[in-house]
Structures are given as C-alpha cells and as structure tokens.
Homo-oligomer: A and B are copies of this chain.
Amino acid sequence: MTTRIADLPTPCVLISRRILESNLQAMAERCRSLGVRLRPHIKTHNLPEIAQRQLHAGAGGVTVATPQEAALAARHGVRDIFVAREVADRVDLCALLDVARSVHLITAVDSVAGAEALAEVAAAREMPMAVRLEVDTGGQRCGVATLEALTALARRVLALPALRLEGIFTHEGHVYGAADHQDLIRQATAAVQALGAMGAGLRAAGVPCGEVSVGSSPSAKTATDFRGVTEVRPGNYVFNDGMQVANGTARIEDCALSVVATVISRPAPDRAVLNVGSKLLGSDRGKNASDTGGYGLVLEPERQVLTRLYEEHGVIDAATGLRVGQRVRLLPTHACIVANLARTVALVDDRGGVVEVWSNRRYA
C-alpha cells in the first residue's frame, strides 16, 4: 500500500518530484546555453539521491562546504568534489586529505598561511592537492579582493610543489542583500564580471588559472554576462524557497520543498499556532529584496505569514480560517536550513502519494 502524505506525522518535509526534476532540467539547460560547467553546491540538500540526479542531469562534479560534507558525498559515490571553504587546522586538514584518497578533491585557499598549512600536510602524505583561490567580489567574507593580492597568492601556491593551482572562485552571496530584483541582476552581473576579469588578469600576468567559478542560484539565473567564467555552483535552485520568491528569481510554483504542519492552538481570535518552529524551519528571514516578511508562508489552505517563531512553535498573528487539528502546507523562507534540520524528507507526487523517503545522513 502506498504511503500518503496524510499518513506522515507533522511537521514533515515534502519534496515535489515534478518540481524538483523541472528545476534540475532548467538549470542544466541554462548552463548549456551559457556555455559554463555546472558544479552544484549540495549543502542545499546533502542527499545522495539528489546529488545523483544532479550528476545525471549534466553536472560534472559537486560543491560542498566542509570536509564532513565531502566525506559524506564520497561515501555515496560522488567522485569529483570541491570544498568551497578554507580549511586551516591540522586535524581538519587530515580529515580533508582522508577524503582525497578516494576522489578528485579540490579545496579552497585564500591566504599564504593557509596554502602553506595545506602544503605541509599534503607533502607529508605525498598527496598533491588541487586548490582554487577564493576571490572576494563584494561579500566581504573570505577571499582576496585585488588582482595584485590574487597574483601574489597564485605565485606562492605555484611555488609549493604539494599544491596544484586548479582555478579561482567566488561566492557572490551578497546578491541576496540587493535592494530589489533589478539591483540583484546588476550586482550578480557585476560579481560575475569581476571574477571573469580576475581570471583574465591572472592569465595576463602569466598564471594559467584554470577554472573560473562563480556560485549562487540568483546569479546563475539572472547575471547577463558570463564572459571569462567557466563554471557555476548554484545550490538552492533544486528546491527554491521564500527568499528566491521574494527576490524574484523563482515563483511559488517553482518551489519543490514544503513543510506540512498542524494548527495546535487558536488561543485568540487573530492568533494561530503551528507545531513547527526554528528547529525545523531555521530563523532566517532574508534581507532587503530577499526578505519574505516572515519565517515561512502558509500556502494552503490560504496565504498567511508566520510572524513569530520559537523552537517548536510557529505563530501567525493575523490568522484567518484555521482550526485546531487542521494541517497546513507552508513554504520555508530558507530551504537549505530545513533540509539540514529535517530527519527525513518525503519525495511526493502530485496526487498526495509518498514516492520515497530519504534520510538525512548528516548523522550517519
């Protein structure tokens, strides 16, 4: 007998098979039309089942954020993995190199000290490591900000026999803070162009820099000039979420991940309380163009905003038409956080059937 969504305890996380597949195809086609390789960031789901679908749809490899995520992907058969965050501690570097034994692993470097620490561990193991240099294109997080600094770092890396310079990359996540959709397109295009220019500058200085890689779903979808860029690393596009809807890079009907919760209390005429809180939804709200106005949007039975969130409670302060015991379906503000927090997610069809249940392997 088929399990139905109605049989699942709440809160539960659903993934629409139809929308997921449509999102995978759309991004694969977009990359083909742009002439760039696709290396999706799988921190959005950390599910081997989706990683395999992404590889099948044309991705050449995947992106992860941590040595632990790399190990998880490698255990599940992914063979080409980019860890897009610097690793600097000796214990963590050893964990990273353990993964590199069995797969093609690339890691991130943005400082001479970081490069030397990695090179020391790699040399001791006689295991040369592929690295990409991180460039800051406006996020003011990690990464070198000038061509001069980038060139100097590249030269230092080239001088370390244990390292192989494999490319440069940026994460232009600051586009989520754009003022509006037009500003997002402008910022995304500027960041992509800035990295392309860095690649050209490096080559002009005599450094063969390899891949030139940008990452973020909004910019992969909207940037208007990818000259000089060879790869994109969008993550969220597989699901989309409230932030993507708010900033205009997805419609509600493009959102594959939703949460079913139950109304557990109607303590006042205008207040409804759901049995879902930050321990499943996270507390991200986005900002500026990406601000959803709340912590989640009830889609059914009618549109309502989660205005307050506690660990296990979600409050709608201007509630209408909900009764205790009723199930609601809601769109999370930030899908990556939900997939990380959910114990399981259910792949569902359009008729209310559960096709598969996937387990979060973060703890495996």
Q: Give chain B nearest CB distance to A339 CB in angstroms.
A: 11
Which residues 132-157 in A have Cβ within 8 Å of B in the complex?
Answer: 136, 140-145
Asked if A264 CB lies within 8 Å of chain B CBs, one says yes
Q: Does A327 contact B (CB under 8 A)?
A: yes
Which of A9, A263, A284, A340 has the largest number of chain B CB atoms within 10 A?
A: A9
Which among B89, B111, B315, B323 is the interface contact of A265 at CB below 8 angstroms? B111
Chain A 264-285, CB-CB to B under 8 Å as 1, else 0, gives 1111100101010011001110
Query: Does residue A253 face the partner (Cβ distance < 8 Å to B)?
Result: no
Question: Which of A179-187, A237-245, A305-313 interfaces with chain B?
Answer: A305-313
**B273:A310 contact, CB within 8 angstroms:** no
Contact among B114, B141, B364 for A325, CB-based, below 8 A = B114
CB distance from A234 to the nearest CB of B (A): 15
A87 at the interface (CB under 8 A from B): yes
Q: Does A43 contact B (CB under 8 A)?
A: yes
Q: Name the distance in Å between A151's Cβ and chain B's nearest Cβ.
A: 16
| Bound-complex Cα distance A133 to B273 (A) | 16
Closest 7 CB pairs of A and B: A363-B363, A113-B324, A89-B262, A86-B264, A65-B312, A142-B265, A88-B325
- Residue from B88, B111, B315 in contact with A275 in the complex, judged by beta carbons closer than 8 Å: B88
A216: CB under 8 A from chain B? no
Q: Say yes or no: A88-B141 contact (C-beta < 8 A), given A95-B9, A111-B324, A173-B310.
A: no
CB contacts (< 8 Å) of A89 on chain B: these are 9-10, 262, 275, 325, 327
Task: Give the interface size bracket for A toward B.
Answer: 35 or more
Task: Name the residue on B nearest A271 (C-beta).
Answer: B140
Q: List 17 A-B contacts (CB under 8 A).
A: A10-B89, A10-B91, A65-B311, A86-B265, A88-B264, A88-B324, A113-B324, A113-B325, A114-B264, A117-B324, A141-B267, A141-B273, A141-B310, A141-B315, A142-B264, A142-B267, A283-B284
Interface residues of A (CB under 8 A from B): 6-10, 43, 65-68, 85-92, 95, 110-111, 113-114, 117, 136, 140-145, 173, 262-268, 271, 273, 275, 278-279, 282-284, 308, 310-313, 315, 323-325, 327, 336-337, 340-341, 343, 359-360, 362-364
A282 to B336, CA, bound (A): 13
Q: In the bound complex, do residue A91 and residue B323 qualify as a contact, i.e. CB atoms below 8 Å apart?
A: no
Collect the chain B residues with CB atoms within 8 Å of residue A364's CB: 363
Residues of B within 8 A of A308 (CB): 141
Residues of chain B within 8 A of A271, CB atoms compared: 140
